[in-house]
C-alpha cells in the first residue's frame, strides 16, 4: 500500500475536524475525496503531507490554538506522522494546495524551479521542466511572466506543474477546478488524466463529483471528519441517501 492512514484524529483547539479516520491509496490508483464543505477533506490532505504537524509545532500557544494529531500515517512502508513536511516531499508525497497559491511575485519559471528545490541533479531538473512544458505548453509561453498576473486556469496549471517538478510518487491535488470557467475545468480534468498516464498515483479532492467519479478508481465520501461511504462512482451514485445528502446530485 502506497499510502495508509489509520485511526487519524485531528483537532483544532476543541473542534474535531478528522474523527478516527482510516483510508488508503494503492500504487497506480486515482482516488478521490469528495464531500460537503467543512467535511475535513483539506485537513486530511494537510495531515497527510505534514502541514498539520507543522502547525502543531509552530503555533503552539499562539492565537491559532492547540492542534491535536493522533493516529498513524504511513507512506511507502514508512511511518510519516512525525516527519516534517519538507522531508515528506523528498519521499515523493507531494501536495498541490487549495487555491493554487503560486508564489505570486516571482516568475513562472522560478515557481517551477522552487518545485524542483530538492532536486540537485540539473540534467534531471531540465528534463522534468521539458515534461511539464509539454504537458502545459502555456507555462512555456509565459515562463518569464510574474505568476501573479496569470489567469486562474493558468495559475492552476502552474501549481500542478510546480508539484510535478517535485517528482511525486503520490500527488495530492486539492480542488483544482474550483473557481475556474467550465471550459478550463474540463481542461484540468484532462490534464489530471494525463498525469496519471505518466505513472503518478493521485489523491484528488474535488467538488465536481460527477466528473471525478468518471475518472477515479475509487472514491471516499467524507462528512464531519468521517468516511461515510466508499467505492466506485457508479455504486455511490446508486445510493439515493448518499447522492442527495452528501453529493448534492
Partner 1 sequence: MILDIIIDGLIKGSVYALLAIGFSLVLGVARIINIAHTALYMTAAYLIYVGTKLMGLPAPLAMVASVVLTVLLGLLVYTLFIKPIQEHEAAVLIATIAVAMMIQEVFLMVFGGHYLGVNPLIDGYATILGVKVTYQHLLALGLALVVLVATRLFLVKTRLGLAIRSTAQDREVANLMGMNVTRVAMSTMAVSVGMAAVTGAIVVPLVTVEPTMWMHPLIMMLAIVVLGGLGSIEGSFVGAYILGFAESLVVFMVPMGSFLKDSVALSIMILVLLMRPEGLFGVSFEEER
DSSP-derived secondary structure letter, 82: T
Site for partner 1 in 220-249 (CB under 8 A): none
- 18 touching partner 1, by CB under 8 A: no
For 97-108, give the DSSP string: -TT----TTSBH
Contact criterion met (CB below 8 Å) for 159 and 102:
yes
Q: Give, as one character, the DSSP assignment of residue 243.
A: I
> Which of 116/247 has CB closer to partner 1?
116
Identified binder of partner 1 from the candidate list 97, 153, 168, 225, rule CB under 8 A: 97
State yes or no: residue 76 binds partner 1 (CB under 8 A): no
Least distance (Å) between residue 227 CB and partner 1: 23
Q: Which of 4, 20, 76, 110 binds partner 1 (CB under 8 A)?
A: 110
What is the DSSP-derived secondary structure letter of residue 154? H
In DSSP terms, 223 is beta-bridged to 226
Q: Is 82 an interacting residue with respect to partner 1 (CB under 8 A)? A: no
Asked if residue 54 binds partner 1 (CB under 8 A), the reply is yes
Could you tell me which residues come within 8 angstroms of residue 64 by beta carbon, excluding any fewer than 6 positions away?
12, 55
- Does 115 bind partner 1 (CB under 8 A)? Our answer is yes
Determine how many CB atoms are found less than 10 A away from the CB of residue 86: 11
Contact call for residue 101 and partner 1 (CB under 8 A)? yes
Can you name the residues that pair with 18 across neighbouring β-strands?
10
User: What minimum distance in Å lies between the beta carbon of 64 and partner 1?
Assistant: 8
The residue written with cell numbers 507512506 in the block is: 75
* CB nearer partner 1, residue 168 or residue 233: 168
Give the CA count within 13 Å in the CB-facing half-sphere of 144.
0
Of 52 and 242, which CB lies nearer to partner 1 in the complex structure?
A: 52
Cα distance between the two ends of the chain: 32
Is residue 149 involved in binding partner 1 (CB under 8 A)? no
Footprint of partner 1 (CB under 8 A): 49-51, 54-55, 58-62, 64, 84-87, 89-90, 94-95, 97, 101, 103-106, 110, 113-115, 117-118, 162, 166
Amino acid at each position: 500500500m502506497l499510502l495508509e492512514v489509520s485511526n487519524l484524529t485531528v483537532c483544532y483547539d476543541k473542534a474535531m475536524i478528522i474523527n478516527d479516520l482510516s483510508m488508503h491509496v494503492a500504487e497506480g490508483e486515482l482516488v478521490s475525496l469528495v464531500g460537503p464543505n467543512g467535511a475535513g477533506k483539506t485537513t486530511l490532505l494537510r495531515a497527510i503531507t505534514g502541514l498539520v504537524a507543522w502547525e502543531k509545532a509552530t503555533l503552539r500557544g499562539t492565537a491559532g490554538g492547540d492542534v491535536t494529531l493522533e493516529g498513524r500515517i504511513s507512506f511507502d512502508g514508512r511511518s510519516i506522522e512525525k516527519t516534517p513536511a519538507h522531508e515528506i516531499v523528498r519521499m515523493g508525497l507531494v501536495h498541490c494546495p487549495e487555491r493554487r497559491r503560486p508564489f505570486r511575485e516571482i516568475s513562472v519559471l522560478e515557481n517551477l524551479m522552487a518545485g524542483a528545490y530538492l532536486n540537485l541533479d540539473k540534467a534531471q531538473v531540465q528534463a522534468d521542466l521539458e515534461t511539464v512544458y509539454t504537458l502545459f505548453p502555456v507555462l512555456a509561453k509565459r515562463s518569464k511572466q510574474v505568476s501573479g498576473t496569470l489567469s486562474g486556469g493558468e495559475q492552476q496549471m502552474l501549481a500542478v506543474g510546480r508539484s510535478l517538478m517535485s517528482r511525486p510518487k503520490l500527488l495530492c491535488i486539492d480542488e483544482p477546478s474550483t473557481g475556474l470557467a467550465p471550459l478550463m475545468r474540463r481542461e484540468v480534468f484532462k490534464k489530471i488524466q494525463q498525469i496519471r498516464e505518466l505513472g503518478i498515483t493521485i489523491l484528488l479532492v474535488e467538488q465536481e463529483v460527477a466528473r471525478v467519479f468518471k475518472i477515479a478508481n475509487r472514491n471516499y465520501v467524507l462528512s464531519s471528519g468521517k468516511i461515510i461511504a466508499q467505492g466506485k462512482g457508479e455504486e455511490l451514485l446508486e445510493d439515493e441517501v448518499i447522492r442527495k445528502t452528501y453529493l448534492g446530485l
